[in-house]
Amino acid sequence: MKNKYIMPVMVILLFSFLIPAINALPNPSSAYCTEMEYSGRIAENEAGQYGLCMFPDGSECGEWDFYEGRCGQEWSYCAINGYGIREPDQSDGSFNGAVCINEQGEDVGKVAELMGLNSPSTDLASLIYIVTGLLLFAAVPISIAILIIVLIVITFLKKMKKH
pLDDT, tens digit, for every residue of 65-90?
999 999 999 999 999 999 999 998 87
- Please tell me the least confidently modeled range out of 40-54, 61-75, 130-144: 130-144
In which domain, by residue range, is 68 found? Answer: 3-162
**Rounded-to-integer distance, Cα 53 and Cα 118, Å:** 20
12 or 86, which is more confident: 86
The DSSP H or E segment spanning 71 is: none
Q: What is the mean pLDDT of residues 78-107?
A: 86
Residue 136 and residue 123: Cα distance in Å, rounded? 20
- Better pLDDT: 123 or 6: 6
Percentage, residues of the chain above pLDDT 70: 64
- The separation between CA 68 and the C-alpha centre of its own chain, rounded to angstroms, equals 16
What pLDDT sits at residue 121? 47
Is the pLDDT at 23 greater than 50, yes or no? no
CB-CB contact of 99 with 88 (8 Å): yes
The model's pTM is 0.59
